[in-house]
Homo-oligomer: A and B are copies of this chain.
Amino acid sequence: MFMHNKRLQYTVRVAEPNPRLACMMLEQFGGADGELAAAMRYFTQGLGEIDPGRKDLLLDIATEELSHLEVIGSIVAMLNKGVKAQLAEGALEEAELYNMIGASSSSAKEALLFGGGPSLTDSAGVPWTAAYIDSRGDPTCDLRSNIAAESRAKVVYERLINITDDPGVKEALGFLMTREIAHQKSFEKALYAIEDNFPSGKLPGIAAYANLYVNSSQGEGDVEGPWNSGAQWDRIDDLEKTMPIDDGDGTASVKLSAADEAVATKLALRTASDRSTDPETGVDLGAGPGAGLISGEDMGAAKDIGEAIKMAEDL
């Protein structure tokens, strides 16, 4: 069960209102790596977890992330406190309000739709979606996802610190950033406290494919490194050998029943493409003399983009 105290985990002292900065801060309120995503990632894992230690850990951090959601949301509320009042009271001239809310399209939405209240959108005004949450119900996956998520959140806070010179905001962001570092450390400990944590799940891999490195992208810029070279790796440079990599023929097939087969043939015939003719098309009907480019005639096409623009100007 959750309880709440109206004091924040970290004091928020904002120097002056700034609705555009408020929208940037929303990235960590309702954004992909924001605090709601963090809280819900760990909370959903915690509910499904059966190991007592991990369950406790997940609920501890989930709860703390909710407190962080409150801190970042309070920053947003303070940065918007001026615009909220001015717009609600219609106290300024229209042009002043228009400029105040219109610093960006998300600040316009923040003001017009949300009245300056903290909204669960990111810095571009996109609503939060649970598609951000990658809990999968397997602890070795989930802990890796948590480690990655904490490292991402750390970096987004660092970026916010880099663009803000309000000292109170900077301090609070510094606290929030540091907590992500601590959380990452806890999740690392929990991952390696599972004795056999790689590969995730239970099935081992197939030996023939587990140490292959397929050099799918070639040409200048091909580089060797510990991820594709050394004793561990069998690297395939001749891609013909992987078409297919098994000893089949590289096609896809299915055994249809006779009835299905007959109908599939009927469909194929009905919609077959006649490759022997060069049909007149809608394009032939519609291309004007200036457009050129059709049926093999290049008359009217441009040599380069500059000429194309000039030709268009003449229309």
Q: When A8-B1, A202-B89, A305-B171 are in contact, do A254 and B14 touch as well, CB less than 8 Å? A: yes
In the bound complex, CA of A99 to CA of B262 (Å): 20
In the bound complex, CA of A150 to CA of B85 (Å): 22
> In the assembled complex, which residues on chain B have CB atoms less than 8 Å from the CB atom of A13?
248, 253-254
In the bound complex, CA of A293 to CA of B89 (Å): 20
Contact A177 B205 (CB under 8 A): yes
Copies in the complex: 6
Contact B86 A73 (CB under 8 A): no
> In the assembled complex, which residues on chain B have CB atoms less than 8 Å from the CB atom of A220?
6-7
Size bracket, chain A contacts:
35 or more
Contact with A24, one of B102, B185, B298 (Cβ below 8 angstroms): B102
A84-136, CB < 8 A from B: 84-91, 93-95, 97-98, 101-109, 111-136
Contact A90 B202 (CB under 8 A): yes
Q: List 12 A-B contacts (CB under 8 A).
A: A1-B9, A1-B239, A7-B249, A15-B254, A48-B115, A64-B216, A144-B147, A191-B282, A199-B287, A204-B308, A233-B296, A279-B285
